[in-house]
Structure formats: structure tokens, C-alpha cells
Structure 1
Amino acid sequence: MTTATTTPTATVPPAPSAKPRKARNRRWLRLVLPPAAVLLLMLVGTLVYQWGEPNADDEAFLSPSSRDGIGAADLAGRVRQAGVDIVTEHKSSDALVAAYGGNATLLITTPQLMHKYYLRMLKVLPATTRVVIVEPGSATIAEGLLPMQGTARNYIAKTAAPGCDYAPAAQAGTAAVVRTRYGPLDPDLGREVARCYDDSLVVYQRAGVNVTVVGSTDPFRNDRIGEHGNAKLATGLLTGAPRLIWLDLHRREPPPGITDDPGLAGAPGAPPSLRPVDPSNPGDPRDTDFPQAGRGATPNAPQPGNGKNDEPRPPDDPPNPLWSAFPPWTYVATALAVLGVVALAVAMARRLGAPVVEPLPVVVRSSETAIGRGRLYQRAKARGESLQVLRDAAVVRLTRLLRLDPDVERPVLIEAVAASSGWPPPAVEHTLFGRPPDTDDELVAAAVSLEQLVNAVTTEQPGAQPAPAAPFEGEPR
């Protein structure tokens, strides 16, 4: 007899399962990525916009000898064809001295690079000299004492009809001038002669000198002069005199020097405001636009020297704070960026949905909730509100017990409750819709009466006689 043997098999324990990796919480990306994307887009757009903007420090910018897109050689050629002689100057002082001879047009293409004193000297030019200033900004207007009150600047130049009878504008017609718009003129600094192209071309007169302010560089540039009526407008503005003094300035200038050489006191080429002052003459006029040492000067005012431009800065030349180092539109763009980020955060945030039932972390007994709420009503002395809460709950319960509509009318409810409880209708009305109590005792009595009424309907004892609380003081019995 053969006996079968069974070889015991070893039981291999199961391999421990790998612990699942906890998913990373990436909810923070919802708050970080959208604002970062918006800021990056705005930054790239700003950089591209600034990169496309011409730089006044560029030697080719509105230069009469440059044929680059931002140059003005095309305009210079048109002016020469009109029989006007162009005199190119690279210093404001030389340009002013040349314009002081009269019978000329002075073109200032980069007023932001001129020292403010040179801009203030425009008023001392003769009446036969006309001045054309290309797109001065708000800071240049304030420092140079130009009469415009406020400016508004667009991102790009827009076209518009002249809207005035000023000859160069009326002959040119529609032109791309509307970029920087200028506000009304200060009557103490100038008299308005013409205002064209939606306030982007303003002609004013100060001390007999006609000054034309153009709110865009497009009519003067090689790459824009052929559009619309730009060529006619720019040529008309610069061909009103036999000479055109073109200030081709591409660097910031120091303040003008002051000389004490008596031999220059009667020189006709020097602006009167910078001529030497005779201290022995008490009636010698002094222009407050040009502070000098002497009467009314501060200790830090520049003292008379050798005529070089190395004197210290005038006392009224304030330091350049950080906020003024940026153009005004940067602050508007920053404010819009902040508003955009806030709006995007609100739009991308999780919205509140329907209420979700969740277990309370601590079990709170219903009696404690009722006691706590009652004490709040008691502390606020809200007797009427407390009784109204009880009455509303009783009305809802009675409506359900009697199978009435939720919006049942009061007379129907009173009749139904009276028929079911056996109470007279006046007692039912007083219990459910009486006036609010004035004292705590009246509140307790009304609550007891209300509970008795509900119990009478619940137990369905129509034969039971009601025992309502006595009416409040002042009610009819």
C-alpha cells in the first residue's frame, strides 16, 4: 500500500504595497499664474511699445540730415524747395542768438532736452521770429513756463480735421497730429491765437512772439510725412519766413551761464534777461523767470562768473524725485494692471455653491441652542421679536396639521384653527396675531397660551374649552 505524501509548501508573504504618493496641492497656481501672465503680457507690451518709440537722444531723431524713419531729411528738402534757407544749430544758446536777429522761424524738435531757462527766453525774441515746438510734455510745459494748462497723451497719433481757420492747418486738411492734446491757456502767460486738430495744435502769442505747439512728431518724420496732410502741415508751419533755424539737439543742456563783462551789456545778441545787471541802478529790471545774484536772490543762487556753463544749479531748480523720473502714463498703466489683477483674481476664484451638509466637530444639544438664542433675545429685550418667532413657527405647524395652503389668508386660518381646537375665533386671533408684549410676564403668558392652542389642535379635542391668557393691558376684553 502506497502512502501519498504531501510536501508542505512555504507560504510567501505578499510584498508590501508601495505607499501611494500624495498628490501635490497645486491650488496656489490658480492664484499666481493668471496675475503673473497678465503682468508679463503688459510688461512685454510696454517694452515693445517703448522699443518702437523714437528716442530723443538718437542723433537721427528729427534731424534735417537723417534719412532714417525717425529723421526729417524729407521735410528739410521740402522746406528748401520752398525757398527757405535752413540754419542747423546744435545748441539752444546758438539757436536763440540766431533767432534773435528776427525774420526767421525757430524749430525746436526736442524741447524736453532744453534747459528750462532757454525755453523761458522765447518770450524775449522779436515779433518777426516765429517758434514751432514739437510735442512738449507736461514737465517741459511746467518748467519752461509755457501757457498750456494740462495735457493728455494717446499711445499713437490719430488723424483729425483741422477744425480751425489757421492757414497752415486749413491748407493741409486732415493730418496725424492728435497725440498730445493741450488744455486751455493761462491768460497771464499767453494769448491764444488758434486751436486746431482737437487741441493738438495750439498757436499762442506771448510778448509779441507767435509760438506754435504741435502735439505729434508724425508730420515731421520721414516715415510719416507722406501720410494724409502731414507734409503740407509741416511745410506750412516752417516756411513762413526766409530763414529756418533748426535746433538739432540730442542731449540735455546745462543751465545758461551768466557773465559780468560790462562790455556785453549792450550787445544785441544776448537775451535781455541774461545781460549784466547794474547794481548802482535801482530801477534796473529783473525778470523773475531768470534768478540772478543780487536783489531777491537766495544764498544758493548762481553768482556771476566767467560765462561758462559750470555754475551751480539755480535755487528754483528742484531736485528730480523718483516719481517724476517716469512718464505719467506709467502710473496709469500700473493702476490698470492692479485693477486687472484684482478683477482676474475675483473671476478665477472659487465661487460659493449650494450649502453642503457637514458633520459638526462638536455635538451641540438643541436645548443649548434654544437657551442660547433665548438669552440673546432676553439681553436685547426683544420681546416682540421673540414672540413673533414663536407665532410664526406655530402658524407653520398649524397650517401643516390642518392641511392648508402655506399662503392661506388670516380669516380662513383662524376659522380652521377655531374649529379644530374648540377655541373661539377671537381667542385664536389674539393668540396668533395679537399685539407684541410689553413685559416679560406678558411674553410668558402669550407663549403659554400659544403652546396650549397648538396642543389643542394637535390632540384634536374640539370639545375642550380654551384657557387663553388674559389680554395684555390696554387691549379690549
Structure 2
Amino acid sequence: MSADEVRSAPLVRPWWRGARLWVLLVAVLIAGGAAAATLADEPGRPLDPASAHKNGGKALARLLEHYGAGVTATRSVDSALGHPGAAVLVTAPNDYSTAQLRRLAAASTRLVLVRPGTRAGNAVAAGLEPGVVDGSDIAQCSDRGAAAAGSVDFPGDTLGYTPGSSGAVACFGGGVLLAARLAVLGSSDMLRNDHLDDDGIAALDINVITDSRRLTQVTWLLPGADTAGPGPASVWDLFPSGAYRAFWWLAAVAALTALWRARRLGGVVPEPLPVVVRSAEVVEGHGRLYARAGARDRAAAALRSATTTRLAVRLGLPRGAPAEQVAVAAAAVVHGSPAQLAGLLAGAAPVDDAALVRLATELDHLESAVGGGLSEGTTS
């Protein structure tokens, strides 16, 4: 190893020790970003009739038009109600308030809800709630459109529904509810482009939405600016879906990192200092730090505290005696004013360096005077 390498080696280790925390933070951020991207929704607006992505609904929209049903996409409840005689397909009923859903149910010729939750279901009919589907792939109900779809391969997220007071018939083990003006689909994946070619899905979608092709207009309602939702918006609504899971994952990593860095493997082991540091050097070092920071108040407080402690010991007072008590006792020895000495031991902070030097000198003289007075009184 060359002399240059020997001289540079000590510099590499301190640099790495200082930078490894930042490297770790960058790695955690990269991993968190990758996790957020993985957990986020797929590209494109889900179930959008204009989206050709696999999570869109363009294939179903084109199929409905092929069978004579015009499709109109909208993001407004008012607009959805402006098409008399049309079936209103609500792709995200849980995003709408109870009042909005009841308004849609009252004014629509046929309302189709896609995978509604308990609140959304009860908004249109008491007792209409999600449950467990029995897995039947045959209609097993009296609706001719559902029976005409034949055997249906339902997606894995399909929910079963109880009709409640809606008067609807439960088909496919509750995976589909059908009434004269109401239909419920237990799965949102049934409308997606990538599921439309599954067994019976396309036929069932068309018959459910158009009431077995009796309706020739479909209003496709997507969530928009007027979605009132079940309550006030959450801060997580500003982030992609699944971002909160990435956040909690990062929080867990941070907690584990903190525990790892703060771990204690045993008791503290005392070791001798590698070098002997003289007390005068420590005092000078503290003085330079105070001077660099301009901390005259702290320097004065340190000087006064040390002087008060030493005077209390010399005057026979308890350790920790207040400055006023020490000043009264010292005044009796040096024949001075207790108020003046109290101001010296616990007065205002010096305004400049010269005042700090004068304070140090006066404190030193006071200690010398108290010490001299005691020795004279002792020998007499």
C-alpha cells in the first residue's frame, strides 16, 4: 500500500459512517415508492366505458351498442336522471350518499347497482345487504334473462345479496338480484374488459342492464365531483388507492430501524480514556464554545453557580443554598452590602464581553475576600 493510500484510508471510514444513514433512507424511500406503485390502482379509470384497459368497460359498452342499446357516460347525478326511459348503471354506489341513491332509485326506469355495500343497499331497499354467495353458476330463479345467460363463471370477488324489501328475486345464489326497476350485480369485475369473455358474463351483463333487452338506452354513471359519499372526505382520498398501506409499511420500517439503532446488548462497560485531558483544556474548550455561540448568559450563569457553591461550602451553608442566603452570609464576612452581593451572584446577564470579564473578576475577588476573612477570623 502506498503512502497516499495510507493517508487517505482514515478519511474514507468517517465519510462512510456519516453517509450510510442517508443511503439507508434513500433505499427505504425507493422501496416505499415501489410498494406504493404496486399497491396503487391500475392505469385508467376503472369501469370507464371509454377505457380499453383491462380494468375499463369499453368492451361492454360496445357490446351494448351492438345489441341496440345506446350508452351515455356521465359523472353527474343530475345528468343521469335527465334521460327518461334509460337504465342507470351506477358503477360505484358506495361513493354516493343515501339521499342521492334514493333519488336515483325513485326517478330511474331501471337502477343497476354494482357491488353496493350495506349502507348503499339499504338506501334503496331496507334489508338489501351483501352476504356470502353460495357459488351457484346456474340462475335458479324465474327471470328469463338470467336463465338465458346459461352457466356463468362469476369472478372471485362476487358477493351474495339478500333482497330485503326490494321485492327482487335472487339469482345465482344471490350473486344477482333482479326486480322490475332494480338490479344488483354482486361483482364489479363482471363489467371489466378482461372478464367479459368468461362463460356467460357478457350475456348476463346485457340482460341485467337492459332488462332482457327491453330498454334501448343506458346511462353509465361514473363517480364525479358531486359524489357526496358516506361522510366527510379523508386525507387518504388525495393519494392513490393503497397508499395508506405503503405509509404504514414505511412507519413499521422506521420503527424497526429505530429499535435496531437504539438496541442495548448489555450494561455499560467503563473503559479508561485513551488520552488524559487536562481540566484546564476542558475549561478553555467550554469557554471557546461559549464565545463562538455568544452565550454570555450561560457563561455568566456557570461562573455565578460555581462561585455560589464554593462560597456556601466556605461559609458553612448547605450545598445548594440560594444566592440571596449566600450573599447575606458573605456580606457579614467582607463587610459589604447584601443587596450588592446578591446582584453580583444572581444579577442580570452581561451585555457584552467586557462586562462578562468584569463579572468574572469581581466574583474572583469576592471568593478571595471571603477566604481571607475566614482565615483571619479562625486564627484570631
- TM-score bracket, shorter-length normalisation: 0.3 to 0.5
Between structures 1 and 2, the one with greater helix share: 2
Q: Which protein has the larger Cα radius of gyration, Structure 1 or Structure 2?
A: 1
TM-score, length-normalised on structure 2? 0.47
TM-score, length-normalised on structure 1? 0.39
